[in-house]
Structure 1
Amino acid sequence: MESWHGLADFLSSMQYWSDIQNTLAGAGEFRSAAPLYKPPYLDGDRLVIPRGPGNAEDSDGYTDYSILDSDDYFSIRSSGRSRGNLYADSPESWFGMFRDAAKHFLAREVALTTRLRVQGKRLELVTRRWKSLGLAPSWTEVAQPNPGGFVDSKTYFRSDEPSRFYITVNPDTATSFILDLNWRELNSTFSEGIPGIEHVPLPNFTS
């Protein structure tokens, strides 16, 4: 389980956001059913993240996510249907450590989506705070093909900890700031301003 370091904190974070979504839905302030995801579970070398009622299949399609341990990196994968076309196990981003893959997924696919679905209140898109700042301190980039073979790609890595790296399909410097947050900072930052958040306690985190 060493390779899955951070899993307990990720599971606690996913439950925290499900509680937020259920609280919003109960108050009529969530623009969909809740929760967005069911509890993730390990299936061999893959962490499956099942869709919840808030992400049910509809006329636009559906997306299923997982995080795959590929020995050299952890990749966030998606399968689903879009505009009538099926796609399976498509890699979206790659990370040197599971906890970084998990933080990226939590911020992008769970927390930001939740903020966008709050009814009657326009909440800040948190990642815009970092969009114009380039990379976070101690992060560096190098141009090289990604594991999928796309040539015009960049790898971002910590210069003081090169085993920590990430690669996204599109250039994404804001993620470096996300990965530098600990779990408590990550969850509290992205939950700022959500109505009723004071009634949803933050979990205890290991880091």
Structure 2
Amino acid sequence: MPPKAVIFDIGNVLIEWQPERFYDAAIGEDRRRAMFDAVDLHGMNELVDLGAHFTDTVYAQADATPEWRDEIRMWHDRWIEMATPVIDHSVRLMAALQARGVPVFSLTNFGIESYDFAATHYPFLRQFDRDFISGHMRLTKPNPDIYAQLEQTTGLNGADLIFTDDRADNIAAAAARGWQTHLFEGPQGWADALVERGLLTPAQAV
């Protein structure tokens, strides 16, 4: 039987998320490497993903690290430039699934305010049948509890679900619960997986 619902990660599945690439362009690779060595920016972002206020968290880190203050503030002030471009084929797959009546959920490590801001640029972020956003859940992948909470909310589990994510640790945590999984390495591979499981035809998966 095909899965009853499809779950998309967002960063690097529906929207490219490459902070290092942004900073390389904005301040140069050497300065970016020095800043990332000096400041745990991904740890800062993890706090946002866990529900901390986006502006307050980034600006507090900037104020605490005055030698990188202006650059750290870019994480907030120019955030949408880090979360770009859209992976168009993935967005088409989401729409094609829904056109066939297949429920599509998000399961994403994403802050509350940053998600709301992203949705003003990317309207498809408001089109999931159910949203599972870490900032609201106060949990991030790959914590097993975030997967359990999705199961409890939807009444689905195990082979009822197929999940794609670009991080192997997030995929492993879902697979440990019996979910069908696909490690996202590009939209064509994900399209092929959806066709293989009978969720889309080849013509619908383009």
The structure in which a higher percent of residues are strand is: 1
TM-score of the pair, normalised by structure 2: 0.25
The structure in which a higher percent of residues are helix is: 2
Find the structure with the greater CA-based Rg.
Answer: 2
Question: Which of 1 and 2 has higher RCO (CA within 8 Å, sep 6+)?
Answer: 2
